[in-house]
């Protein structure tokens, strides 16, 4: 696929204005005065909201570039669905799905993260130019992930979850979700530090929806300060998740995933105001507006009178 043909084009199902003029190349080039927006690119057949839409390499590249030119700060590329009950994907097949997509997005100037639980896939993605690793496993999957992250020195999203895709729905049992999630994340953090990972590489994520009921998700969002005050960057992923669908329930039916974008943007604004480093979202435009609004809201100063 030629890069020249891409900006702002592609299937008209999700038109997005071209707002990026300057190419970014590394995390250091990204804005520091607002919460970052990570665009979700699931190169899968079975993700809950966009499964099958971007399973082909060309479609995935096109959507990734559309999000990049639409202002996404980071593109998060995954090749294995994380939804409860999803069938596991062989790591070699996962890498084959995402490596060409990552290489093309990096070449275009995008900052790219790889959403994987597999060390071999993370390594292949980093070799293809990915800038950070986003791992939803909560270290329940592959014990050698800390060693890879220490060796490569890249940022790493350490997400909380209990169990795996088949068991996590039954493990949402907490007496005090904020205290327990924080304690479990801090215990995981120690495994990474012991392996030689620097604290500043670690980005913490409470893992909304992963072994969490709707009430747990809201409590974690309400208490985001519990995580932001730990001294690490914090990432949250609310986008189109089921707890928003049930919040917006009409006539006994959950709202469809694509009807959850306004509620997602509301959570992004609140997360931005709470000092979160990055929000992971499907709809880049509305969430970019939301985090910009949060910055204007939280940094507003009394206007200085002329001559004062
Ligand atoms: N959620 C999903 C996938 N990856 N990564 C992080 N760090 N945090 C999340 O909350 C998260 C994630 C599931 O959403 P999707 O199937 O729409 O990608």
Find the 138 Cα to ligand 1 centroid distance in Å: 12
- Position 2 pLDDT exceeds 80: no
Tens of pLDDT, residue by residue over 55-68, are 899 999 999 999 99
Minimum-distance ligand 1 atom for the alpha carbon of 134:
7
Whole-structure pTM value: 0.91
What pLDDT, on the 0 to 100 scale, is given for residue 304? 75
* Ligand 1 proximity of 280 Cβ (cutoff 6 Å): yes
Q: For atom 3 of ligand 1, which residue has the closest CA?
A: 82
Find the 306 Cα to ligand 1 centroid distance in Å: 48
Total number of residues shown for the chain:
308
Longest Cα–Cα distance in the chain: 68
Catalytic choice (123, 240, 241, 292) = 241
When pLDDT is cut at 50, 70 and 90, the band that residue 8 belongs to is: very low
What pLDDT, on the 0 to 100 scale, is given for residue 219? 98
Tens of pLDDT, residue by residue over 232-288, are 999 999 999 999 999 999 999 999 999 999 999 999 999 999 999 999 999 999 999
Q: Which of the listed residues 42, 72, 82 should we mutate to test ligand 1's pocket, taking the one with most ligand atoms within 8 A of CB?
A: 82
| Choice between 303 and 36, residue whose per-residue pLDDT is larger | 36
Domains of the chain: 27-295 (3.20.20.20)
Is 241 noted as a catalytic residue in this protein?
Answer: yes
| Choice between 212 and 7, residue whose per-residue pLDDT is larger | 212
* Ligand 1 proximity of 42 Cβ (cutoff 6 Å): yes
Find the 237 Cα to ligand 1 centroid distance in Å: 6
* Ligand 1 proximity of 83 Cβ (cutoff 6 Å): yes
* Ligand 1 proximity of 141 Cβ (cutoff 6 Å): no
DSSP letter at 281 equals E
Q: How far is CA 148 from CA 80, 126, 151, 275, 293, in A?
A: 20, 10, 5, 29, 37
What pLDDT, on the 0 to 100 scale, is given for residue 3? 46
Minimum-distance ligand 1 atom for the alpha carbon of 81:
16
Burial classification of residue 173, based on how many CB atoms lie within 10 Å of its CB (0-12 exposed, 13-18 middle, 19 or more buried): exposed
Rounded average pLDDT over 77-105: 92
Minimum-distance ligand 1 atom for the alpha carbon of 208:
10
Catalytic choice (182, 242, 280, 292) = 280
* Ligand 1 proximity of 205 Cβ (cutoff 6 Å): yes
What pLDDT, on the 0 to 100 scale, is given for residue 1? 44
Burial classification of residue 200, based on how many CB atoms lie within 10 Å of its CB (0-12 exposed, 13-18 middle, 19 or more buried): exposed
When pLDDT is cut at 50, 70 and 90, the band that residue 83 belongs to is: confident
Strands 111-115, 74-78: pairing kind: parallel
Q: For atom 2 of ligand 1, which residue has the closest CA?
A: 82
What pLDDT, on the 0 to 100 scale, is given for residue 57? 94
Give the integer Cα–Cα distance in Å for 62 and 84. Answer: 27
Find the 2 Cα to ligand 1 centroid distance in Å: 29
Residue 156 · residue 205 · CB < 8 Å: no
What pLDDT, on the 0 to 100 scale, is given for residue 19? 67
What pLDDT, on the 0 to 100 scale, is given for residue 220? 98
What pLDDT, on the 0 to 100 scale, is given for residue 24? 73
Task: List the alpha helices (DSSP H) in the chain.
Answer: 57-69, 91-107, 119-127, 145-152, 177-194, 214-222, 225-228, 242-247, 261-273, 284-299
> Mean pLDDT of all residues in the chain?
91
What pLDDT, on the 0 to 100 scale, is given for residue 56? 92
Is 280 noted as a catalytic residue in this protein?
Answer: yes
Find the 238 Cα to ligand 1 centroid distance in Å: 8
Q: For atom 8 of ligand 1, which residue has the closest CA?
A: 237
């Amino acid at each position: 696929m030629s890069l020249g043909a891409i900006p702002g084009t592609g299937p008209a199902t999700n038109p997005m204005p071209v707002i990026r003029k300057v190419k970014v190349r590394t995390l250091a080039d990204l804005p520091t005065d607002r919460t970052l927006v990570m665009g979700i690119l699931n190169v899968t057949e079975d993700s809950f909201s966009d499964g099958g839409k971007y399973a082909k390499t060309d479609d995935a590249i096109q959507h990734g570039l559309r999000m990049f030119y639409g202002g996404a700060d980071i593109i998060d590329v995954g090749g294995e669905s994380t939804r409860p009950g999803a069938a596991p994907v062989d790591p070699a097949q996962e890498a084959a799905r995402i490596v060409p997509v990552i290489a093309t997005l990096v070449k275009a100037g995008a900052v790219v993260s790889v959403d994987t639980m597999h060390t071999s896939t993370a390594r292949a993605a980093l070799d293809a130019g990915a800038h950070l690793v986003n791992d939803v496993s909560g270290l329940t999957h592959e014990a050698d992930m800390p060693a890879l992250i220490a060796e490569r020195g890249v940022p790493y999203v350490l997400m909380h979850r209990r169990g795996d895709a088949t068991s996590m729905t039954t493990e949402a049992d907490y007496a005090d979700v904020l205290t327990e999630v924080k304690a479990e994340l801090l215990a995981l953090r120690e495994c990474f530090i012991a392996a030689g990972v620097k604290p500043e590489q670690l980005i913490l994520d409470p893992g909304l929806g992963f072994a969490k009921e709707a009430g747990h998700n809201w409590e974690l969002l309400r208490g985001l300060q519990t995580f932001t005050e730990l001294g690490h960057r914090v990432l949250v992923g609310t986008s189109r998740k089921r707890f928003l669908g049930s919040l917006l329930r009409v006539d006994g039916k959950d709202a469809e995933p694509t009807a959850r974008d306004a509620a997602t943007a509301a959570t992004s604004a609140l997360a931005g105001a709470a000092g979160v480093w990055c929000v992971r979202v499907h709809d880049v435009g509305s969430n970019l507006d939301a985090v910009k609004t949060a910055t204007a809201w939280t940094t507003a100063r009394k206007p200085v009178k002329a001559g004062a």
